[in-house]
Amino acid sequence: MTKKHSQDNVDGEEGKKNSFDGQDPSLTSNEIIQLKLETKSVTILQQAIQEITNFSIKSMPKEAIGLLSGREIRPKELMITKGIYVTEGEEYSVSFSEDDFQVFDQLAGPEYCVGWWHSHPGFGLFLSQTDITTHIFSFQIVHRLSVALVVDPIAVGIDGIAKHKFFQVVGDSQNNSFRYVELASYLDKSSE
Ligand SMILES: [Zn+2]
């Protein structure tokens, strides 16, 4: 599957959708995609969000992007233990390449890819239309609990952690009603 995340404009009005030319052959263009809220809450280790903050600051003013490693600790409740840095993009765009996903081949044990993260340096915590498309096709239809984390490395608190939000996408392709929903999230200050 081609993973693309590009033209992430501030106003989200890039005016065109990504083409997922290498998309899952089981999905035809006529297939109706229905997504509902699957993940109830997300807990992230302080160390993980700290690392993601640091990666995002280092990439400024460009966006940084990466993957989230974790597991389902209770039904519909995710624990994220690690943010993996993948690449940086442009000031308002960033993209995954096919090879970027191979980092997960290196993961051992019970952890797996529970979503992705990227930074919006100074332009707010939300998912653009492109982000929504990326999240649906590369993550949420692959694993229903997948979440998207957006961080703002310009807005760093006194604890050294960037302001951040977790999202999932709900809606269906028939009405083209996809939208993002913010999830409840918690910080775990223990070290694992
Ligand atoms: Zn974005």
CA of 8 to the centre of ligand 1 (A): 5
Within-domain flag for 6:
no
Distance 70 CA to ligand 1 centre (A): 21
Distance 118 CA to ligand 1 centre (A): 7
pLDDT the model gives residue 88: 84
Q: In angstroms, rounded to a whole number, what is the distance separating the alpha carbons of residues 39 and 183?
A: 8
User: Domain range spanning residue 77?
Assistant: 34-187
Q: Which pairing describes strands 41-45 and 184-188: parallel, antiparallel, or unpaired?
A: parallel
The count of domains in the chain is 1
* Amino acid occupying residue 171: G
Report how far ligand 1's centroid is from the alpha carbon of 159 (Å): 24
Predicted structure pTM score: 0.81
| Centre of ligand 1 from the C-alpha of residue 105, in Å | 25
Inter-residue contact 22 to 3 (CB < 8 Å): no
**Gap from CA of 109 to ligand 1 centroid (Å):** 30
Helix-strand-coil split of the chain, %, nearest 5? 20, 35, 45
pLDDT at 105: 66
- Per-residue pLDDT at 106: 62
Let me know if residue 23 belongs to a domain: no
Residue 13 inside a domain? The answer is no
In a domain, 12, yes or no: no
Q: Is residue 29 part of a domain?
A: no
Report the C-alpha gap between 8 and 65 in whole angstroms: 12
24, part of any domain? no
**What is the rounded CA–CA span in Å between residue 26 and residue 58?**
39
Residue 119 Cα to ligand 1 midpoint, Å, equals 7
The rounded Å distance from CA 33 to ligand 1 centre is: 22
DSSP classification of residue 18? P
Q: What is the CATH number of the domain that holds 70?
A: 3.40.140.10
In a domain, 77, yes or no: yes
Residue 66 DSSP code:
E
Tokens of 127: 């998912």
User: Tens-digit pLDDT profile for the chain (192 aa)?
Assistant: 334 444 344 343 333 333 334 444 445 567 889 999 999 999 999 999 999 999 999 999 999 999 999 999 999 999 999 999 988 887 776 777 777 777 666 666 788 899 999 999 999 999 999 999 999 999 999 899 999 999 999 999 999 999 999 999 999 998 889 999 999 999 999 854
Q: Is 14 inside a domain boundary?
A: no
| Token output for 103 | 């980092």
